[in-house]
Amino acid sequence: MHSSLGQSLKLATRRQLFQTCGIGLGKAALASMIAQELGSTPLQAADREPRGHHHQPRIKRVIYLFMAGAPSQLDLFDHKPKLTELEGKPIPPSVIAGQRYAFIQPNAAVLAPRFKFARHGESGAEFSEIMPHLATVADDLAIIKTVHTDQFNHSPAQLFVNTGSPIPGRPAMGSWLSYGIGSDAVDLPGFVVLKSGGNLSGGAAMWSSGFLSGEHQGVPFRTTGDPILNVANPHGIDQQTQRDTIDLIGKLNRQQLEKTGPGDIATRIESYEMAYRMQTRAPELMDFGAEDSATLDLYGTTGNDSGSFAKNCLLARRLAERGVRFIQLYHSGWDHHSNVENGLKKQCKQTDQACAALILDLKQRGMLDETLVVWGGEFGRTPMVEASVALGRQLGRDHHPQAFSMWMAGGGIRSGQTLGKTDELGFRPIENPVHVHDIQATILHQLGIDHERLIFTYAGRPFRLTDVHGRVLKSLVG
């Protein structure tokens, strides 16, 4: 935050204090002033206008397909025949020295890949047999096999991928984008969240605006009924009455804003106006009647299968068409501590076709070049088997932060390549290691943002999505 802005906010706060306190300094007022000046509450006026691009953007938007629970890279993308050779034998001690695991012992036996692999497309990328649809768009993907993270438990790891920190309270990536470059959407939020598959360990903190103002937070859309709760008018309230009511509330809020200065009121005003605009836009957005049968079949949705990943992928394309900047799809159910084989079959059946369809649909509409599609979870799975009589687990895989796979498509990405290489057991990177902060830096770069310059000062400290880390993956984006 600029020092002149901080000083003006301090002066405004002092004026408010003496105007409202009368005689003496009440404890509550004094505490409020101190908190404001020290930055222990958000100074939200500073983040109301977008900062702007740092360089020419390659894309307009991001669709992030977050596979919550951590898919097993060893059974989907990173084929390791050595695991088949060593199945049932302990991992060599030199490989696992000093490692921590959530549930299993370091000397657990090797578990071979549960599926066959084959190469596809001109790129020759390897895919598991349970992803036949994604294999058809192999040449549109850039697969990264060496992503690693600092976290090995679900909640902090999910927060880390989404907010750059394992601690709740930081802004999500979509919030940083809203703060940094705004949105092209007029009647819809710039950051929309779609969920399927069940509960999320990281919870709503993964799309929180943190210390940025509330207008930057992700807005969860439902796939049944009204897309947003309470967005429809109650019975007996017509559009003109609603408009008059919001105008009156807005007038009162602006009067209060003049008295109290920056804060939550400005966000409240914008929230009312956005809600009014969405009352007309949201029903049209959710009406899939304009989608032809070929498109519905492509995704594997009827348009009425509420809560499905397939429907959410089609909805993501519709949101992209309407200018939404960051569309986050969360699909849970990838946490396979037991029976990884059947668990992956189930999840791939729910997601494989729709992932490929989203790429094909964007491509045929001329939108893929300006849209970055990202797929990945919070970490990977171990090459060792998890088996526990006490927990009722067998033939599963534990949490593995050292190496996991992600893919990207569109958005100026150099497609048809595989970046990075892991060792013969798929345990750790041996070529081109990629940190989670590198992924975040690269996404921001494609949107015209220098991750080292997108900063917000809070509580006296400058913050950014990538903290003090991160590098743009030049080999991925050119």
Give domain limits for the chain: 1-41, 50-477
β 380-381/399-400 pair status? antiparallel
Listed as ranges, residues in the chain with pLDDT below 50 are 1-46, 48
| pLDDT score at 125 | 97
Q: What gap in Å lies between CA 185 and CA 125, rounded to an integer?
A: 36
Tokens (6 digits) for 120: 């596809």
Q: What gap in Å lies between CA 110 and CA 86, rounded to an integer?
A: 6
Nearest Cα neighbor of 387 from 396, 400, 399, 376 is 396
DSSP lists the bridge partners of residue 219 as 192
| pLDDT score at 20 | 41
Predicted TM-score (pTM) of the model is 0.83
Phi, psi (degrees; rounded to nearest 5) at 372: -100, 120
Q: Which are the contacts of 179, defined by CB distance < 8 A and separation ≥ 6?
A: 47, 50, 51, 171, 212, 216, 454, 456
Sign of CA dihedral 470, 473, 474, 478: negative
Tokens (6 digits) for 430: 């041996």
| pLDDT score at 306 | 80
The tens digit of pLDDT for each residue in 4-44 reads 444 444 444 444 444 444 434 333 333 333 333 334 333 44
- The arrangement of secondary structure in 50-477, i.e. its CATH architecture, is 3-Layer(aba) Sandwich (3.40)
Helix, strand or coil for residue 410?
Answer: strand
Q: What gap in Å lies between CA 18 and CA 23, rounded to an integer?
A: 8
Q: What gap in Å lies between CA 213 and CA 264, rounded to an integer?
A: 8
Q: What secondary structure does DSSP assign to 304-324, as a single string?
A: --TT-HHHHHHHHHHHHHTT-
Nearest Cα neighbor of 321 from 291, 300, 301 is 291
Q: What gap in Å lies between CA 275 and CA 188, rounded to an integer?
A: 9
Q: Which are the contacts of 201, defined by CB distance < 8 A and separation ≥ 6?
A: 68, 69, 154, 155, 158
In three-state form (DSSP H/G/I as H, E/B as E, the rest C), the secondary structure along 9-73 is HHHHHHHHHHHHHCCCCCHHHHHHHHHHHHCCCCCHHHHCCCCCCCCCCCCCEEEEEEECCCCCH
